[in-house]
Chains A and B, each alone.
Chain A
Amino acid sequence: MSPDTPPLDPIFGRLTLDAIPYQEPILVVTFAVVALAGIFAVGALTYFRLWGYLWREWITSVDHKRIGIMYIVLAIIMLVRGFADAIMMRLQQAIAFNGSEGYLPAHHYDQIFTAHGVIMIFFVATPLIVGVMNFVIPLQIGARDVSFPYLNNLGFWLTAVAAILVNVSLFVGEFSQGGWVGEPPLTGAEASPGVGVDYYLWALQISGLGTIIGGINLLATIIKMRAPGLTFMKLPIFCWTSLCVNALIVLSFPFLTIAVTLLTLDRLFGTHFFTADFGGNPMAYVNLVWIWGHPEVYILILPALGVYSEVAAVFSGKRLFGYTSMVYATVSITVIGFVVWLHHFFTMGSGASVNGFFGLMTALIAIPTGVKVYNWLFTMYRGRVRFEVPMMWTISFMLTFLLGGLTGVLCSIPAADFQLHNSLFLVGHFHNVAIGAIVFAMMAAIDYWFPKAFGFRLEPFWGKLSVWFWTVGFFVAFLPIYVAGLSGVTRRTRVFDDPSEQNLQILFVIAAIGAFIALLGVVFFLVQLFVSIRNREALRDTTGDPWNARTLEWSTSSPPPEYNFAFTPVVHDVDAWADMKARGYSRPSEGFKPIHMPRNTATGIVASVLLLIFSFAVIWYMWLVAGVSFALLLLVLIGHTFNYNRSFHIPADVVARTESERTRLLAQQG
């Protein structure tokens, strides 16, 4: 800080009333809507006396199924925010031609693309895959819970408070204007003195911590808690991809933590890790952040590929083609994924051989990825393909992904990337994959596992509409973006004031139309949820296996009891449940034993909220508040280690009653 800055307020630090953007109508309206919705939600919860239920059954729950669902709910809420940002950008770019400045000044637009990127990656895609993994993995491996149930709850709440922090920045202060990976010197103290980058850094720090904790937990779960007989080469492909993903998380997220921590030190204490002067090196940040960033891309895509493998097999009524190939492909993607990070900055001036090496490694990764596509293809071959909603997502993905893979390989050739890097062609490529592979997979996953989670199916009509609108919307929105990239338009452009590019406006108008079509895809998905909840009795599934599926999660009831399986299943083959069905498996109806289960805990949410307060205080230099909240946080965490009362037994007669109720329901089916 320079000597002429005024002394800080002892309580509020640099937070003053000026930080509230009440002069910006867009934000005021947004705030009003959010506040109204909030008041409405609080009112409804109070009126229906749901607070206690929420607290006991969800907020403090350590049940992996509940936590998984909470992750997904968080992601869907944030998807709405992220999509709103996307629409705003599309409108701005569609009108900012012929001398128009559009309706968003730079200060606002630059926050929007940063927030959109951060939200979509950290608070939509990541929670979606973590949520689905959380819900599915223990069920698929025949386990009763995860290895570390308390950490699981803590990981969720850390992610949630990080998401809250990003949204607080909308109404108190500002968000970063430095892009979703926030590279210095642009995000350094000199070029970005405001609180925006600090919000960004703390949001990433906290959610990164949550993701690492979750990763350790799921990694241990898959390695240690598989049912007897479930050897690695019998593991469902979704579990294989999850295993690799969680290994990637544990190995790569620490790099993000380091990058973010050092940049925080630069900004707070004037260290010079990444400054241009005083011997700092901004290129070090670029390397660190992409050593995390590239694996992150695979962290998001591998579970998606796992979902498609499950869905393709089930809805083709057939075993997955080339299981072993699929496993090797997954593992090689994981390993090679660690030596390709430099393809994100071929243009930063490294030598030809360095660029060549990373280009080759990236090309190499295309091989196992291609193999996977063939495997889905030959899974349909000689099958009986049922066009249920999850399968429609899968087929749409298989076609969309071909284009995304093609453009991805183009960007990975260093000499070609000198043209494509940071252009809208690149933006087209990563949305092609982010939407066509990740979002589609998660929509498929939600549709596929929803009956397992809630005991009734989702209405297929609205689901199918959602598939069509997302698919068509994607192509209408992003084909023009590819073309704009080839026409020399760079990403993060706010206005087009160069006379020689005025003929490109039509592309951005089409892209905006496409974004609205895709928006309808989101709306129809929400309608689908709403309609299905209303018609839940008609959509009820009492079999626990509505799709005639193949893996263990479908052997238990829907929704599964708290303990998942009354008896731990024994596995003999790939696709254990298909195998059990084929061999005429019958459910045991007696001999139940008490089941040992973890107890709920409030430590996760309390610690996370304290961390939220701490980070907010540090962002605004409210040192007193920061000190107090940090001390409390330590106390809570240490206090938790003295809590020895962490588990309980579900009595055998309760288990027996639950299971006989299921027997009765199954018998009713005839």
Chain B
Amino acid sequence: MKPHRIIALLPLVAILSACNAVVLHPSGDVAVQQRDLLLYATELMAIVIVPVAFLTILFAWHYRHTNTKARYEPEWHHSTKLEVVIWGVPVIIIIFLGMATWTTAHTLDPYRQITRIAPDQLVPPGTKPLQIEVVALDWKWLFIYPEQGIATVNDVAAPVNQPIEFRLTSSRVQNALSIPALAGQVYAMPGMETELHAVINEPGDYRGYSSRFSGAGFSKMHFTFHGKSAADFDKWVADAKATGTTLDSATYLQLAVPSEGEPVHRYANVDPELYKTILDRCVGQSPNMCLSTMRANDLKKGNGLCRPNVASN
């Protein structure tokens, strides 16, 4: 094959491999709606882009310098009818796109409770979402299950078709929890709590990782998200329980020491206050004043100083 043929084929190979890209073939209802939105917007814009691409090539060729048969009107530079089309078409497309933008900003808001499990399946009334507290550490992920009382590192699971409520924070720098098959990503930030609501529809193992650069170990800061049947999920929890280990503030501080490529491990018990103190930035014997105390001082017109022993007036 001639070299330029090979070069022409390269992008094709790339495009073909898009066919099984995870964002286009997700397994959770939120991600499915995000995918549909992407495709809808693409189709909408294709209405202008395809003709414009075609006309660009056509005009450039037809009105080429050497084609003296083509009409030449050097002074023609205005046409009200054309101007109306030129402004009108994008306006109409953006109206449609804008409506989709606004509604999906609300329906797919990560803070919003999941209301449907699948396109034609609403969440049964009274369903409680599975709570998962997420802490981004340098450079691994800690998942705490407050209801089950277990915790895991770089490994997370949820039963299929049950809404999940992630609450996220971070230990030191910003990260983002990203699970494309499930629902995309949300930042995890120190001293701050964000949320992500989602549901997984198909059992399987999905890639999860940090998608906000957080330093040297960033590339290896990934984990597996398992969608499991209810029975398998219970077994997974029981396995964690069987380890007999406990995550309290002392073990947490050890865990928080920066490390790379941390293997999966699990804790049978978790200090129920741990997540709150991480979020409050005063785990264990921390010299820092808890953020909540500082805020309370500020509200009391306190001086906002950060030493616990400074009295507010």
* A interface list, Cβ under 8 A from B: 106-107, 110, 177-179, 183, 185-186, 190-191, 276-279, 282-283, 316-325, 345, 347-349, 351-353, 355-356, 359-360, 363-364, 366-367, 370-371, 373-375, 377-387, 395, 398-399, 402, 405-406, 409-410, 412-416, 418-423, 425, 472, 475-476, 479-480, 482-483, 485-488, 490-498, 500-501, 504, 506-507, 510, 513-514, 517
Contact = CB atoms under 8 A, between A and B. Distances in A.
16 contacts: A317-B72, A317-B74, A322-B78, A359-B101, A385-B64, A399-B57, A409-B45, A409-B97, A414-B105, A415-B108, A425-B23, A480-B11, A483-B18, A486-B21, A488-B207, A500-B207
A421 B90 contact: no
A416 B70 CA distance: 45
B234 interface: no
Given A483-B17, A490-B178, A381 B59 contact: yes
B122 to A, nearest CB: 20
B176 A347 contact: yes
Given A419-B31, A419-B184, A106 B217 contact: yes
Given A276-B190, A385-B65, A387-B65, A402 B53 contact: yes
Interface stretch (B80-88, B145-153, B155-163, B268-276): B80-88
Contact of B102 (A356, A380, A501): A356
A479 B21 CA distance: 13
A477 to B, nearest CB: 10
A410 B101 CA distance: 10
Q: Which 5 A-B pairs have the closest CB atoms?
A: A418-B184, A356-B105, A276-B190, A486-B21, A415-B104
Given A422-B211, A500-B205, 10 more contacts: A276-B190, A318-B76, A359-B105, A383-B74, A385-B60, A399-B57, A406-B49, A472-B7, A488-B180, A494-B218
B63 A316 contact: yes
B7 A398 contact: no
A185 B186 contact: no
B106 to A, nearest CB: 4
A294 B211 CA distance: 21
Interface in B194-225: 194-195, 205, 207, 209-220, 222
Contacts of B108: 414-415, 418
A495 B213 contact: no
Contact of A416 (B34, B46, B53, B194): B34
A670 B220 CA distance: 71
A364 B94 contact: yes
B183 interface: yes
A494 B311 CA distance: 48
Given A106-B219, A395-B56, A415 B34 contact: yes
Interface residues of B, number: 106
Contacts of B60: 380, 385, 395
B10 A352 contact: no
Contact of A415 (B23, B33, B77, B97): B33
Contact of A406 (B42, B72, B104, B176): B42
Contacts of B180: 419, 488
Contacts of B21: 483, 486-488
Nearest to A323: B77
Interface stretch (B109-117, B125-133, B237-245, B248-256): B109-117
Nearest to A358: B105
A266 B174 CA distance: 17
A107 B57 CA distance: 46
Contacts of A283: 189, 192
Contacts of B86: 322, 325, 371, 374-375, 378
B309 to A, nearest CB: 15
B105 A475 contact: no
B90 A370 contact: yes
A495 B97 contact: no
B185 interface: yes
B38 A419 contact: yes
B48 to A, nearest CB: 7
B191 A277 contact: yes
Contact of A382 (B22, B72, B83): B72
B24 interface: yes
Contacts of A382: 63, 70-73, 76
Nearest to B298: A279
A402 B18 CA distance: 20
B100 interface: yes
B306 to A, nearest CB: 5
From A276, A319, A371, A399, residue with most partner B Cβ within 10 Å = A276
B109 to A, nearest CB: 4
Contacts of A490: 178, 209-211
Contacts of A107: 216
Contacts of A416: 34, 37-38, 41, 104
B98 A360 contact: yes
Contact of B63 (A322, A380, A494): A380
Nearest to A313: B77
Contacts of B105: 352-353, 355-356, 359, 414-415
A510 B53 contact: no
A498 B221 CA distance: 10
B110 A418 contact: yes
Contact of B56 (A377, A409, A507): A377
Contacts of B78: 321-324
Residue with the greatest number of chain B CB neighbours at <10 A, chosen from A367, A385, A491: A385
Contacts of B101: 356, 359-360, 363, 412-415
A185 B180 CA distance: 25
Q: Could you say which of A185, A349, A351, A380 has the most chain B C-beta atoms within 10 Å of its C-beta?
A: A349
B74 A483 contact: no
A506 B77 contact: no
Contacts of B215: 106, 110, 177, 186, 191
Contacts of B79: 378
Interface in B1-55: 7, 10-11, 13-15, 17-18, 21-24, 31, 33-35, 37-38, 41-42, 45-46, 48-49, 52-53, 55
Nearest to A364: B94
Contacts of B218: 106, 492-494
A456 B31 CA distance: 57
Contacts of B65: 384-387
In this complex, the member of B18, B89, B176 whose beta carbon has the largest number of chain A beta carbons within 10 angstroms is: B18
A142 B91 CA distance: 37
B77 A191 contact: no
Contacts of A494: 218-219
Nearest to A402: B49
Given A186-B214, A402-B52, A486-B18, A322 B24 contact: no
B143 interface: no
A355 B10 contact: no
A322 B83 contact: yes
Contacts of A110: 213, 215-216
Nearest to B181: A488
A286 B247 CA distance: 33
B187 interface: yes
A282 B170 CA distance: 13
Contact of B38 (A383, A410, A513): A410
Given A386-B65, A402-B52, A472-B7, A185 B172 contact: yes
A381 B64 CA distance: 10
A398 to B, nearest CB: 5
A275 to B, nearest CB: 9
A369 B215 CA distance: 37
B219 A495 contact: yes
A356 B11 contact: no
B110 to A, nearest CB: 7
A359 B184 contact: no
Contacts of A367: 87, 90-91, 94
Contacts of B189: 276, 282-283, 348-349
Given A374-B86, A497-B261, A355 B100 contact: no
B220 A418 contact: no
Contacts of B106: 352-353, 356
